[in-house]
Structure 1
């Protein structure tokens, strides 16, 4: 029963008694009692039984209040004031008049309506917005905005602040979001009677609230529409914001920036901005999870005899990589702490993979040396084991 208007008679109802529990019953007991009574009195299992239907409605109403911690606290305080004679339900006598205090809410004033007006979603205090006639205009959160940004491989590793030019939905500048022609006066929407929503049945005793199609939730309508937005109340605005892309972000990541989306209405919060990040590839380095990858060309003699070679790191000084004698093609070496930044602030590793290079052209001296090597190893055929294994 979200978004119900507060009813004076609720101050005189004992919702705990309706559920058959004590006032200090824990939430688990409240839920258990509600499920039991709702099951026993559900109209789908007792069609045509008006008494059970009314019982079911009363149980649902009670649990909607005391089953919610915030509503329950406000309801308890309301009951305490009522039980102590702090206000009365009308007629003579001392104390305050409950109906008058609740009426203050409709007149835009303070009092009990402001204290408990948001008990059932009506809003209260600084969140309330009123229009002509004192009807409450509920805050509406702004729309979320989607955009994309392409950054370099290095910026993805180190983090970067970028400028984003955004065009987003906003209130129409001509009518300030009212949807009416400037200078004309609105009237309360006849379709929702100023509530901003209409009740739609979903079967049985249940119903849901939907945004009023007549006023779009604005609660007011104008006989003459704004010529700029044609009555929608919406326009577009362009702005530039600074967005911080965290270090270590991956290609395809979706970053959420809270409150950077479209502005809200009637004092509502702004929406969020979602940035889809595309990382440009690097000419030398690659990436696997939080590790950087690098293919290192080495010569035949370096792989066969062993060597110490210099390799680059991303944004840092070169490091020395020791290649042991007899290193095969494709072997990967790990250089710790030279990878991408992780979520905890530490860094991954650099994975350097050996790629043994075969020269395309040999001069006379190199050819003679290779032929001498062939003669020296002629008695050790490499593929003998290959044929033996193929026959098993």
Structure 2
């Protein structure tokens, strides 16, 4: 279907519903009309058959939210139906008597690149059909490619943030042909298939969708005598080294996006982005849970039983003193505030200290005698009695 036919048809009138009709109202109206004009109920009647096709076409557009929105926008842009449009010297009410190509190409206006051209760009953006742009695929600004890279760093560098050197290889314009793809002394020609736009239209029923031209692969140009360096692609490989800032508090396996650090754009287009996969080496002492650092500290049985003040290491800092209360059980975790990883607001997480009661592998006579005396003094309390009762009750 042509763009003209598409915009001239009032699908709401075909279904007999107002423009404000809900999806349910549109569906109900379609079902009623479809039963009325269905070919099986009107065998041999070509008039009702055409009416059935018209009703089905209207429902296909209005039942699809996206297509209905595009249809409404296009009809609003050009007025309610194009039958009432009149260009210079064209009478209103005289029907559709002007050339769409003139309207979209801007040839009907005295201003170069004026309203007609802008309308063509807008309409082409809505439906990917109709109007053309004057910019060829070869000169249209293009965004550079995104680049993937990896970096390994120490635990401390990940916590504090660091700057790393990254050697990147990306696609860029061939230096021998300046990106044209043509051998020195020759120039590429405009692709006759897409006429330099780099795009071809593929018809899918009521709509046409734009896709890269297969002959020129979206470039808008054809090369008859290709550049021997890039073999006509116009692209080459470039290697560069950049300094990338890895933010503080990055975690192992995190993927960081560095805006505009990717491959450079073409014809004034923006650069792509750089995505860096971070690998953090484990620390022999510290671990990490979100913004908090973790550490396990050994304590003796007397320290846990009687209470004590112990020294606890911190990352890249002096040890801090932690007070362990009397009767501290094995595995209890204490919080030292402000000694963790940096947060986005500039503050720091905490250091989570887990105590681990250690048993000495060997005892001298004095230590053994003291423990035996403690054992004798604490006899009479069976720590496992309640546990055994609970096991039997199930």
Calculate the TM-score normalised by the size of structure 2.
0.72
Mapped pair 1:331 → 2:318: no
Mapping of 1:14-163 within 5 angstroms?
67=69, 103=105, 109-121=112-124, 130=135, 137-163=139-165
- Cα deviation for residue 170 of structure 1 reads 1.7
| Secondary structure of 1:242 counterpart | strand
Report the Cα distance in structure 1 between the residues aligned to 2:274 and 2:156, rounded to whole angstroms: 24
- Cα deviation for residue 192 of structure 1 reads 2.9
- Cα deviation for residue 65 of structure 1 reads 10
Mapped pair 1:372 → 2:370: no
| Secondary structure of 1:119 counterpart | helix
- Cα deviation for residue 121 of structure 1 reads 4.5
Report the Cα distance in structure 1 between the residues aligned to 2:135 and 2:24, rounded to whole angstroms: 40
| Secondary structure of 2:373 counterpart | helix
- Cα deviation for residue 304 of structure 1 reads 1.1
Report the Cα distance in structure 2 between the residues aligned to 1:391 and 1:64, rounded to whole angstroms: 66
- Provide structure 1 residue ranges, at least 5 long, that are not aligned to the other structure: 91-96, 123-127
Mapped pair 1:295 → 2:296: yes
- Cα deviation for residue 84 of structure 1 reads 11
CA contact (8 A) 1:19 1:59 kept: no
| Number of positions where the alignment pairs a residue of Structure 1 with one of Structure 2 | 361
| Secondary structure of 1:391 counterpart | helix
Report the Cα distance in structure 2 between the residues aligned to 1:265 and 1:60, rounded to whole angstroms: 40
CA contact (8 A) 1:162 1:243 kept: yes
- Cα deviation for residue 219 of structure 1 reads 0.7
Mapped pair 1:176 → 2:185: no
Q: Partner residue of 2:241?
A: 240
Change over 3 Å in CA distance of 1:51–1:140 after alignment to 2: farther
CA contact (8 A) 2:296 2:354 kept: yes
CA contact (8 A) 2:200 2:210 kept: yes
Q: Partner residue of 1:348?
A: 349
Change over 3 Å in CA distance of 1:205–1:46 after alignment to 2: farther
- Provide structure 2 residue ranges, at least 5 long, that are not aligned to the other structure: 41-45, 92-98, 126-132
- Cα deviation for residue 19 of structure 1 reads 5.6
**1:176-199 Cα distance to aligned partner (Å, 9 max, x none):** 222222221222223333331223
| Secondary structure of 1:209 counterpart | strand
Change over 3 Å in CA distance of 1:136–1:59 after alignment to 2: farther
Report the Cα distance in structure 2 between the residues aligned to 1:362 and 1:294, rounded to whole angstroms: 27
RMSD of aligned Cα (Å): 4.5
Change over 3 Å in CA distance of 1:29–1:177 after alignment to 2: farther
Report the Cα distance in structure 1 between the residues aligned to 2:255 and 2:290, rounded to whole angstroms: 16
Q: Partner residue of 2:95?
A: none
